[in-house]
A and B are shown apart, each in its own frame.
Chain A
Amino acid sequence: MTHRAPVNRIIRFSSVDGPGNRTVVFLQGCNYNCRYCHNPETRALCCHCGDCVAHCPAGALKKDADGHVLYAYEACVFCDACIRVCPHDASPRIRSLTAKETFEEIEKQIPYIRGVTVSGGECTLYPSYLAELFRLCKELSLETLLDTNGTLDLFSRPALFDVTDGVMLDVKAWDARVHRALTDHGNGDVLRHMIALAECGKLHEVRTVVMPEMVDAERTVRQTARALAPYLHLYPVRYKIIAFRPAGVRKEYASFATPDPPYLAYLSDLAKSEGMREVILI
């Protein structure tokens, strides 16, 4: 059985998606609606409305007889015009790849990479595909990392759990109401999954985006660090504290304030005082 997923983009060498040098696969589609999403065009699957076709300056997009929007990678000049005009938070530049095909794209970077990170969108929308992809990666000793919002219960997916070396997980807010206001979802599952992953040493990183007008970052950082402290001896989980920046976000959220550096430094110190050894400010 071979599984497919919509692939938005593959970055062949990345220094910012986990330890060392990694190939990163971005999958399309997300089950959250974070107000501060920096890549809103990865959220939805294309519904083939065709609005973007006329805006392509390179003739890379066309509508076929069945009304499907087709994308020609060779012609594309990566100007992003299509993404900007899409009213559905989608992108026409998506390739549907099997796990095997994706793996073949990753394999080309051996021996320069130590691993692969799958991100999104929300990559865990495609668990069977991920299980197959990671199994192929493990055969060649590549480390496998998931970059996820934490909604999927990995423990209910042993085929994927077994071949996943680590998880980088977002703690968007500690307070459930804040979390709901920010994402349209509660966070009970996410926090449970975070602890369960930390307990088995598979939690590699947690991240919180600091958007002062919507997120109580102080509480989130303190509570998250405190919750993880008992497990740090199993894996030295890293805390990445990310400043909200308006670049790339949807228009209606672009006017939100960015946090100031002293506040970020304060949050970093707070995480450290709760026992987190490695804290990174971005």
Chain B
Amino acid sequence: MREISMERVNATREKMLDVVKSPTLTHAQKVANMANLADSLLEVLDLPEGLSGLLDKEITDGQCICDLSEGHAPLRPRYIVPDYARFMKEGSAFLELPPPSDLYEAINSLLILYKHVPSVTNFPVYVGQLDTLLEPFINDVDEETAHRLIRLFFTHMDRTILDSFSHANIGPSPTKAGRIILDVVGELEDAVPNLTMKVDPLLTTDEFLAAGIKAALHTAKPSFANHPMFDREFPGGDLCGKDQGAYVIASCYNGLPYGGGSFTLCRLILGNIAKRAKDADDYCTRVLPEVLDVMARYMDARIRFIVEESGFFENNFLAKEGLIHKDRFSAMFGLVGLAEAVNDLMAKEGKAEKRFGHDEEATALGVRIMDVIDAFNKEHRNPYCTISGGHFLLHAQVGIASDIDVSPGTRIPIGEEPEELIDHLRVLMRFHKYFPSGTGDIFPIDVTVHRNPDYVADIIRGAMKEGIRYLSFYSADSDVIRITGYLVKRSEIDKLEDGKNVKHDTTALGMGAKHNGKILERKVR
């Protein structure tokens, strides 16, 4: 481990004391912050040359690479996706739990396991393919009881998983459990867990999709994932359950391998990188490739530490009991601000009026930049990402609350959306294909659509055909709204703005995004 200066130690100690005395942080938030500060004193990674100049800056000050506060000595992979199906079948020796035999035990066992699934947020980012997990037990009790139990289950999750980067999956095929889950999320209007419905043109029935859309218009979830597309990209057969593929949607909208997850996620700030380039050619051939190389080597170093030195895979019961497998982990090569990069480069070429998402030349430059990144990733090899062919998985990151003038992933900036939804869809269909580990677009929908959920169904089914990966809708007037990927209640943001305590960490992020990211100003469709 490398030495650090006493100055840095003392500065960190000051910060720790501030955390201890903070009037606004909850106890759990204090503990997490203390751990992060302690971790910040460690220097164990073999950092690539040139990293510091790209990483150690504020985003408003030209930061080009961001590691999303993963810390200096990662003690676990960032995102963990346990094989809950195996847990249901075999129970857990470590937790002294036999396989559940009815709905009561199934829910109880899951709630216990959630408390032992680590992640960067210290909460489980994936809580399971809940329809298939519960379906075998659903007829043990009458429907009213099943409904009540699932309602309590979801309430328990919302009150104990204290941030909304936590995700449940249902679909693509309809099930009784899936239907009850949709009813329950519609009733509860809670932010946690996030929910995705996998949609398949053949397996997903019109009724099941309509039930999903009704819930979404009511409470902003589920979102809708292009099942055939993810299914093609993640090998391994139907590990999640019959016809459900070997992938999950976790955290915001991250496609990840089942029974594994993601070691790490770093992101490129494409707009800031553009500021270092003379023009589009300089960007694509010189400036960007250099940054790509540094970020990839930084991720390699993080992954190497997690796998070879942290001891996580040797000692954690999830790995020992086969609920996760080291070789089912990949890593997420993230990016934000494609729109800002394109607009900056177009301006440098004297074409400032040609904007990303509106002008063909500008949008085509966006495609060119993505092709550069994609080609780089296909060349780069990491020995531990075997599940994804030795490469990382590209990820259109949704941004963090402190991002200013940085659009999530490849999104068109809020306030500049094309007048017509169809033109908007036609732009994003060109970008979704690059991102197996997640991208998505969000559409607030006019309230009159409540009368015609088939309108949304047609758009979803059309989008799947056009290679759009992931879509979210919410009603322009609902309380639960989607910030960038996660969900927050408007009423909770109001509370926080009034200086009151709120239970979910993500509410504060939502408040930041409301001011910095203008998320309440999205164009209503």
> A172 CA to B448 CA in the complex, in Å?
24
Contact between chains at B448 and A16 (CB < 8 Å)? yes
Can you list 20 A-B pairs, Cβ within 8 angstroms, ordered by A? A12-B421, A13-B421, A13-B422, A13-B459, A15-B448, A15-B451, A15-B452, A16-B448, A16-B451, A16-B452, A19-B452, A20-B452, A20-B455, A20-B458, A109-B422, A110-B462, A112-B462, A113-B462, A114-B458, A280-B451
Asked whether any CB of chain A lies closer than 8 Å to the CB of B465, the reply is: yes
> A280 CA to B461 CA in the complex, in Å?
26
A111 proximity list for chain B (CB < 8 A): 461-462, 465-466
Asked whether any CB of chain B lies closer than 8 Å to the CB of A128, the reply is: no
Contact between chains at B454 and A20 (CB < 8 Å)? yes
Asked whether any CB of chain A lies closer than 8 Å to the CB of B463, the reply is: yes
Whose C-beta in chain B lies nearest to the C-beta of A17?
A: B452
> A108 CA to B525 CA in the complex, in Å?
18
Contact between chains at B465 and A12 (CB < 8 Å)? no
B449 proximity list for chain A (CB < 8 A): 15
Question: Separation in Å of the A69 CB from the closest CB of chain B?
Answer: 26
Chain B interface, number of residues (Cβ within 8 angstroms)? 20
Interface of B is mostly: helix
Asked whether any CB of chain A lies closer than 8 Å to the CB of B55, the reply is: no
Whose C-beta in chain A lies nearest to the C-beta of B450?
A: A15
A-B residue pairs, 7 tightest by C-beta = A112-B462, A15-B455, A21-B458, A20-B454, A111-B462, A20-B458, A111-B465
Interface 1/0 per residue, B445-478 and A, CB below 8 Å: 0101101101101110111011000000000000
B420 proximity list for chain A (CB < 8 A): 12-13
Which of A13, A20, A21, A114 has the most chain B CB atoms inside 10 A of its CB?
Answer: A21
Which of B420, B446, B458 has the most chain A CB atoms inside 10 A of its CB?
Answer: B458
Asked whether any CB of chain A lies closer than 8 Å to the CB of B425, the reply is: yes
Whose C-beta in chain A lies nearest to the C-beta of B452?
A: A15
| Also in contact, A113 and B458, with CB within 8 A (given A13-B421, A13-B422) | yes
B421 proximity list for chain A (CB < 8 A): 12-13
Chain A interface, number of residues (Cβ within 8 angstroms)? 15
Contact between chains at A112 and B451 (CB < 8 Å)? no
Whose C-beta in chain B lies nearest to the C-beta of A11?
A: B420
Question: Separation in Å of the B446 CB from the closest CB of chain A?
Answer: 8
Whose C-beta in chain A lies nearest to the C-beta of B421?
A: A13
- Cβ < 8 Å to B, chain A residues 93-115: 108-114
Contact between chains at A20 and B457 (CB < 8 Å)? yes
Chain A residues at the B interface, C-beta cutoff of 8 Å: 12-13, 15-16, 19-21, 108-114, 280
Contact between chains at B459 and A21 (CB < 8 Å)? yes
Interface of A is mostly: loop
- Besides the known contacts A19-B454, A20-B458, 20 further A-B residue pairs in the complex with CB atoms under 8 A apart: A12-B420, A12-B421, A13-B422, A13-B455, A13-B525, A15-B448, A15-B455, A16-B451, A19-B452, A20-B452, A20-B457, A21-B459, A108-B422, A110-B462, A111-B462, A112-B422, A112-B458, A112-B459, A114-B454, A114-B458
Question: Separation in Å of the A120 CB from the closest CB of chain B?
Answer: 21
> A41 CA to B443 CA in the complex, in Å?
32
> A15 CA to B455 CA in the complex, in Å?
6
Whose C-beta in chain B lies nearest to the C-beta of A109?
A: B422
> A16 CA to B462 CA in the complex, in Å?
18
B463 proximity list for chain A (CB < 8 A): 112
| Also in contact, A21 and B455, with CB within 8 A (given A13-B421, A15-B449, A108-B422) | yes
Which of B420, B421, B455 has the most chain A CB atoms inside 10 A of its CB?
Answer: B455
- Cβ < 8 Å to A, chain B residues 381-438: 420-422, 425
A108 proximity list for chain B (CB < 8 A): 422
Whose C-beta in chain A lies nearest to the C-beta of B463?
A: A112
A15 proximity list for chain B (CB < 8 A): 446, 448-449, 451-452, 455
> A165 CA to B421 CA in the complex, in Å?
26
A112 proximity list for chain B (CB < 8 A): 422, 425, 458-459, 462-463
Question: Separation in Å of the B462 CB from the closest CB of chain A?
Answer: 3
| Also in contact, A12 and B448, with CB within 8 A (given A20-B457, A111-B461, A112-B458) | no
> A151 CA to B350 CA in the complex, in Å?
57
> A113 CA to B421 CA in the complex, in Å?
12
Whose C-beta in chain B lies nearest to the C-beta of A110?
A: B462
> A113 CA to B454 CA in the complex, in Å?
10
Question: Separation in Å of the A61 CB from the closest CB of chain B?
Answer: 22
